[in-house]
Amino acid sequence: MINTLYPLKFQPILKDKIWGGQKLKTILNKNSDLPNIGESWEISDVKSDTSVVINGQLKGQSLRQLLETYTSDLIGEKNYKVFGNKFPLLIKFIDAKEDLSIQLHPNDELAKKRHNSFGKTEMWYVMQADKDANLIVGFNKKVTPEIYLKYLEDKTLTHILNFDKVKEGDTYFIEVGRVHAIGAGVMLAEIQQTSDITYRVYDWDRVDDSGNERDLHNDLAIDAIDFRMREDFRIDYSKTENQSNQMVSCPYFTTNYLDITSKV
Indicate if the alpha-carbon torsion angle 137, 141, 146, 152 is positive or negative: negative
pLDDT in tens, 24-46: 999 999 999 999 999 999 999 99
What pLDDT does residue 66 have? Answer: 96
Residue 263 has pLDDT above 80, yes or no: no
Residue 50 has pLDDT above 70, yes or no: yes
Contacts by 110-117, CB closer than 8 A, 24 or more apart:
110/223, 110/224, 111/195, 111/197, 114/220, 115/197, 117/195, 117/196, 117/197
What pLDDT does residue 99 have? Answer: 97
Lowest mean pLDDT among 27-41, 53-67, 74-88, 201-215: 201-215
Domains within the chain, CATH numbers bracketed: 1-90 (2.60.120.10), 99-264 (2.60.120.10)
Number of neighbours of residue 8 by Cβ within 10 angstroms: 17
What pLDDT does residue 209 have? Answer: 77
Is 206 a residue of the active site?
no
Lowest mean pLDDT among 57-71, 118-132, 197-211: 197-211
Residue 84 has pLDDT above 70, yes or no: yes
In which band, very low, low, confident or very high, does the pLDDT at 121 lie, cut at 50, 70 and 90?
Answer: very high
Sheet holding 134-139, edge to edge: 161-165, 134-139, 180-182, 102-104, 199-202
Query: What is the average pLDDT across 45-51?
Result: 94
Question: Which one of 64, 114, 178, 200 is the catalytic residue?
Answer: 200
pLDDT in tens, 186-215: 999 999 999 999 999 999 999 877 888 889
What pLDDT does residue 2 have? Answer: 64
Query: What is the average pLDDT across 173-190?
Result: 98
